[in-house]
Structures are given as structure tokens and as C-alpha cells.
Amino acid sequence: MAKGWSNEELLASVKAYRQMADKQEAGVSYSKKQVYEELAARFDRTTKAFEYRMQNISAVLNELDLPWIPGLKPAVNVGTDMKARLIQLIQGKTPEKDTGVGSLEDSRTWEKALAAVTQLGGTASRKQVEDWILARNPEYNTKNLADLYMMAVNSPARTGYSQNEKPRRTDQDNRYDRLFKVGRGIFETYDQAQHGIWEIYPDASSGSRFGVSIRRVSNPVEEALAVAEDAAEQAAIFDPTDVADARKRVTADIIRRRGQPAFRKALMDAYGDACAITGCNLPDVLEAAHVHPYKGDHTNVVSNGLLLRADIHTLFDLGLIAIESETMVVRVSPKLEGTDYGKLDGSPLRHPKQNSHRVSPEALDWHWSQYGWCD
């Protein structure tokens, strides 16, 4: 099945055509073959494909009564949609990206998968992506759903694809760095501000076919924490006349950290007034932890929370402790190896008294996916 042409490819073709035309008019020698080879290497197409596309551009220019390169005989079998897009680009306009139903069959397989996630609201399961594509392209080969992992910046599996064989960072605007894996077979659109910067780097011990691995090189949580610590240091000037106000601030901070009173009470009841990880039963140090960050009342549900001891809550929010949803056991970051917290690795998560209050595996998968050491 032919790959659909993106606006980026068509714009590059039109620009290359104009550069050749300018050289032709100026009497400067140039190599069409070299131009096609450069475009083919850039966009993963054959040189023949770009040669034919240049002939399509000649056909459109001829139809518009504009001069065309004599050595590129017009190929009139352009297609209505392609002709319209080329005309817009020649006239300096940007055509709308063609991701509608009518163009899906001509899109690349990875573009189909990306379009599905985008059209499904920015988050979708592998099954939802499959159903969405098959409803619009019945001949789609579902083996190509592997493209989801190829595009997921935090998926170790992406290192086995030729598109990712060379080292790079996700802040370099590569076309394949488009998704983020948030659970078993669940993907969302990649957002650098939310998910951090990841990189593919050389790693001879990786075992991947191209000798590369992935890792996160910037952590939004750690960056935000550094800013907050700096602000706290700036404000931490002792004023003996302000002790009463300081007490109020400390009290407010404790209440805020413990969590919304109703949410905390619900978790205290669910977990029998004991930490879900350590079993600590001292209420004064127990806090209501959101698994998926607080985004309004709809996230204040017991299934999106864990009752945790204050220090464990901090480590959980920093991504140094996570829960493996399949086994419901505690996993500890390598950074905590050799500490008392390292002993928690592999310990079972304590469950609420009622099954309906158990923490959501999907929420745990989301939390798990945010940190590079969890794989």
C-alpha cells in the first residue's frame, strides 16, 4: 500500500523544485539525482517517488500557465486531492493536514496509529486504536499496531525499530517522538513539559539490535521541586515577631499535605488507619496520596488514592517508589538502594477492607509509566 504524502514532504518537494528552476534559469549546473537522493534520505522514500512527484509539480505548473523545468516532463496523473494540495503550496498557502477518513488508506501505518490516538482524545488503548483504524481502513494489517511502541518515547521496545536506530533526544522534533506509554497497551500524545525529555543513547549492553537504549534526561517533577526549594529558601528568613503567623502557615501546610479532609477520611476508613505500604498506624503522619495528580473533585476518589506515611508519600510523588499493578507489590528506585527504603522493594501492597475501594490498576500503570527506572 502506498504511503500518503505529508505536507512537510510536499513543501520540501516544491522548495527543491524551485531551487532547481532558479539554477536552470541562471545557467548553474545541478544534479536532479542528487536532489532526489537527499529528499529520499530525509523522508524515507525512493528517489523514483520524488522524481515522479517533481513531474506532478511540472504538470500543476503547466496547468496554471507557469513555467516548468524542461527536463521534468509533466506527469498529469496527479489526483484531485494531491493537485489541490500542490496548488496551495505553490501559491504559498499551507493545506490542512489530511488526516480525514478519505485519506487514511494512503497514510503511513504510523500516521494511522497517531491519528487514531489524536482523534480518540489524546489517550487510547491499543484495542481502541485498532478499532478506530479498522472502521476506516478495513484492509489495515493489525501487526502494524507495533508503531505505537515505536513512537512511544518511554517504551524500551522502540529501540528495536530502524526509525530509532540512531541516538537522539526528544527535544529535537523528530517525527517519530509522538507518544507516551501510560500503562499496559495505553498511549497518550507526548508532551515534553509533562513527560520530560527522553533520549535514545548508545548502549552496547542493551541487547537491542541497534545497540541503543532509552532514558529520561529531564524530570519535570525534579525541576519544579528545585524551583519550589529555591523559592522556599528565599522566604525562609526568621522573624521573631512573626511566630504566630508562622504557626498558622505550618498548620496550613500540614493540612494541605495531608490532603483534602474528606478524601483523607475516606482513605483512612478504607485502609483501616494504616499506611498501605508500611502498615504504620500513627494517624498524625498518615497522608492522602493521589496516584494520578489532583485535577479536581473527580480525582478525589478512593480508587485514585493511597493512604501513605508522610515520607513514603513524598517518595511516591517523586517517583522513587511505585506499585507494580500486575502483582500489586512495591518497587523501589535504584536511587534508594542501600537505604532503609530499599528494603520495601517487593513487599506486598496492603489492600482496603472492601474490594470496591482498591486502588485502580490503570492509575498505578500511569504513575509507573512516568519514571525512567520503571520498565
Q: pLDDT for 282-332, tens place per residue?
A: 998 999 999 987 555 555 689 999 999 999 998 998 888 999 998 999 999
The pLDDT, as a whole number, for residue 226 is 64
pLDDT-derived band of residue 2, with 50, 70 and 90 as boundaries? very low
Residue bearing the bigger pLDDT, 125 or 93: 125
The pLDDT, as a whole number, for residue 3 is 56
Residue 234, pLDDT above cutoff 80: no
Residue 278, pLDDT above cutoff 70: yes
Residue 95: φ, ψ to 5°: -70, 155
Tell me the average pLDDT across 271-278.
Answer: 95
Residue type for 366, please?
W
Say what the pTM is. Answer: 0.52
Q: Terminal CA-to-CA distance of the chain, rounded, Å?
A: 35
Which sign, positive or negative, has the C-alpha torsion 236, 240, 244, 247?
A: positive
pLDDT-derived band of residue 207, with 50, 70 and 90 as boundaries? confident
CB 139 within 8 A of CB 174: no
**How many C-beta atoms surround the C-beta of residue 367 within 10 A?**
26
- What does pLDDT average to over the chain? 84
* Contacts of 43 by beta carbon, 8 Å cutoff, 6+ apart: 8, 9, 12
The pLDDT, as a whole number, for residue 224 is 59
Cα-Cα-Cα-Cα torsion 225, 229, 230, 236, nearest 10 degrees, comes to 160
The pLDDT, as a whole number, for residue 1 is 39
| 157 to 154, 160, 208, 272: CA distances (angstroms) | 9, 6, 9, 40
